[in-house]
């Protein structure tokens, strides 16, 4: 078995495991998990949070092409669907870490838009050599060092993607204040019908998202993207609807 097929098999097994976890949820919670937040009771949210904590503990052991990558496989699948539908020229990712997710987005994009690029931003360069030297990373991933909300970085990104179709993925500092600032900074890059994805929404940014949505009725939460029932991006798939 090649390394590639072994990785594919491992990803498939993890997805199956997560699906089984989901099926083992009580049906009310399953329904709630598909469209939770406002209606979920504190107890139900606590169960959901615990389940995600268990999943997230495993994510630190997860690798993409051997590179630690902190992504929920079910959200990766949903993101893959969004990328196929949107056919973006650029994915802008805030929060690079080891470079695994940027390489993953680049891999998913390659057969969809041959010239597409990933711009990934982090306050520290902690990319593994494997993430920097991979041919896809060399040709399709651009790393920007700095804060995702610094005016210099925001202007640099806006200049690079001007006039292009963009999907934004926010996975840096998950505080409400920082995510609100990121949403304000990157929302202008999104055309009608496009997506801004806030990751790890149970880690703190919900209030920031709410504040942003109150100010920007042109964006709505797309609950259809939560259909697997387990997502790290609960209330975070934001679609520009007008």
Q: How many residues does the chain have?
A: 242
The answer to whether 232 contacts ligand SAM (rule: CB under 6 A) is no
**Residue in 36, 88, 95, 229 binding ligand SAM, rule: CB under 6 A:** 95
- Token representation of residue 215: 């100010």
* Bridge partners of residue 118, in order along the sequence: 91, 141
- Phi then psi for residue 139, to 5 deg, are -95, -20
Residue 147 CB, shortest distance to ligand SAM, in Å, is 4
**Residue in 72, 79, 86, 172 binding ligand SAM, rule: CB under 6 A:** 172
3-state secondary structure of 59: helix
| CB-CB contact of 36 with 44 (8 Å) | yes
Calpha distance 10→23 (Å, rounded): 20
The answer to whether 205 contacts ligand SAM (rule: CB under 6 A) is no
Residue 221 CB, shortest distance to ligand SAM, in Å, is 21
Cβ-based nearer residue to ligand SAM, 38 or 60:
60
Tell me the site size for ligand SAM, rule CB under 6 A: 19
The answer to whether 97 contacts ligand SAM (rule: CB under 6 A) is yes
The answer to whether 233 contacts ligand SAM (rule: CB under 6 A) is no
The answer to whether 74 contacts ligand SAM (rule: CB under 6 A) is no
The answer to whether 62 contacts ligand SAM (rule: CB under 6 A) is no
> Measuring CA to CA, which residue among 213, 137, 136, 202 is closest to residue 174?
202
| CB-CB contact of 116 with 140 (8 Å) | yes
The answer to whether 168 contacts ligand SAM (rule: CB under 6 A) is no
**Residue in 7, 14, 47, 123 binding ligand SAM, rule: CB under 6 A:** 123
Calpha distance 51→56 (Å, rounded): 9
* Bridge partners of residue 221, in order along the sequence: 238
> Measuring CA to CA, which residue among 227, 230, 236 is closest to residue 204?
236
3-state secondary structure of 94: strand
**Residue in 51, 71, 212, 239 binding ligand SAM, rule: CB under 6 A:** 71
Q: Given the rule CB under 6 A, which of 68-76, 185-193, 209-217, 227-235 is the region that contacts ligand SAM? A: 68-76
The answer to whether 100 contacts ligand SAM (rule: CB under 6 A) is yes
- Binding residues for ligand SAM, per CB under 6 A? 69-71, 94-98, 100-101, 121-124, 147-148, 171-173
């Amino acid at each position: 078995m090649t390394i590639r097929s072994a990785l594919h098999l491992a990803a498939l097994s993890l997805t199956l495991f997560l699906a089984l976890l989901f099926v083992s949820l009580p049906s009310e919670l399953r329904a709630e998990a598909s469209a939770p937040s406002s209606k979920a009771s504190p107890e139900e949210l606590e169960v959901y949070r615990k389940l995600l904590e268990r999943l997230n503990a495993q994510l630190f052991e997860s690798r993409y092409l051997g590179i630690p990558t902190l992504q929920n496989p079910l959200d990766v699948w949903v993101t893959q669907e969004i990328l196929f539908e949107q056919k973006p020229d650029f994915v802008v990712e805030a929060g690079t870490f080891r470079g695994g997710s940027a390489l993953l987005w680049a891999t998913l994009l390659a057969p969809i838009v041959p010239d597409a690029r990933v711009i990934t931003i982090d306050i520290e360069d902690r990319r593994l050599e494997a993430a920097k030297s991979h041919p896809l990373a060399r040709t399709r991933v651009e790393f920007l060092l700095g804060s995702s909300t610094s005016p210099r970085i925001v202007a640099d990104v806006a200049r690079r993607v001007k006039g292009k179709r963009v999907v934004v993925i926010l996975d840096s500092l998950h505080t409400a204040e920082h995510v609100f600032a990121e949403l304000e900074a990157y929302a202008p890059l999104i055309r009608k019908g496009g997506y801004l994805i806030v990751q790890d929404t149970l880690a703190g940014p919900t209030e920031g998202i709410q504040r942003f949505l109150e100010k920007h009725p042109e964006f709505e939460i797309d609950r259809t993207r939560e259909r697997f029932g387990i997502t790290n991006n609960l209330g975070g798939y934001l679609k520009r609807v007008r």
